[in-house]
Structure 1
Amino acid sequence: MADLLDIAEVGEQTGLAPSALRFYEKRGLIAPTGRNGLRRTYHPDVLSRLALILCARGAGFTLTEIARFLRASPSDAELRARMAEKARQLDDDITRLIRMRDSLRHAATCTHDPLVECPDFKSTFEPTSSAV
């Protein structure tokens, strides 16, 4: 069996404060395996679960939605519909962020004065069928 991680080790590896880990535990998102003295201990699999939680938070899911997702079964049609809608929203966000990244890369080397009036820079912000 893999070595257990104490709460400080989990915090170090995830960048989360122990208080955040305790909060996630209280919300039912993670569970400790026990204690080593006064410290909570976790199975190493908690790191993957926390990576999923942090990714979902970054994608705009609430903790309530994440908790529901972590308990979901394939028969949860409402949750599946919500996940599909969120995937579409993320596609839109990714397209918008790629356009912004490409514009910034161009602006970083562009000599047009002012930069925001550069035709190449401006072209990345022209409305498309999926933009705006």
Structure 2
Amino acid sequence: MNLIDIAALSQSSGVPPSTLRYYEELGLIHSCARHGLRRQYDEQTLTQLALISLGKAAGFSLEQIKGMFRQDGSPNLSRPILHERADAIENQVRRLKALRDTLRHVADCSAPSHMQCPKFQQLLRVIHPQAAGAPPWRPKRRRQGE
């Protein structure tokens, strides 16, 4: 088994040594040995770091990512959870595309101001109903004795 020094692992993975130590503290990765004060990792740790990076990019917390590994560090990915997260990302992409298209329309709109653009008004109603002419929020009146 070839061991990788923490500095070499950091360079190969692009993950700073401080983050590697933090991941080890959380139990996401494990060092196998030490060479003096320097931690040594097995080659599987590079795969684990790639999966951690992918999980973070997909919006999983480090605690959720930790649950995606077995005790021996091998991946144990739940397909239903991955499908659920992929669906959430797909919905987010749809919302962002709609927002992008609306913003492009507003930027190119020939209305004298954004506030006179019907599409912009529609966007405001969707985001915040009170911002587009709905009755403003009013604080409740205090009753006597309150």
Same-fold status (TM-score > 0.5): yes
Equivalences for residues 50-129 of structure 1 within 5 A: 50-71=49-70, 81-94=80-93, 99=97, 116-117=107-108
Stretch moving more, 64-73 or 23-32: 64-73
> Could you tell me how far apart the structure 2 residues matched to 1:41 and 1:94 are?
40
Provide TM-score, normalisation by structure 2. 0.57
Counterparts of 2:10 and 2:4, CA distance in 1:
10
RMSD, aligned CA: 3.2
- Bigger Rg over Cα: 2
1:80 is displaced (CA, Å) by 5.6
Please state how far the C-alpha of 1:84 moved relative to its aligned partner: 2.9
Deviation at 1:95, TM superposition (A): 5.2
After TM superposition, give the deviation of residue 89 of structure 1 in Å: 1.1
- Unpaired segments ≥5 residues, structure 2: 110-126, 128-146
Counterpart residue number, 1:44: 43
Structure 1 gap ranges (5+)? 108-113, 119-131
Aligned residues: 105
When normalised by structure 1's length, the TM-score is 0.63
Percent identity at matched positions? 37
Q: Tell me the SS of whatever aligns to 1:16.
A: coil
The separation in 1 between residues aligned to 2:44 and 2:32, in whole angstroms, is 11
Higher RCO (C-alpha 8 Å, min separation 6): 1
Rounded to whole Å, the distance in 1 between the matches of 2:90 and 2:106 is 28
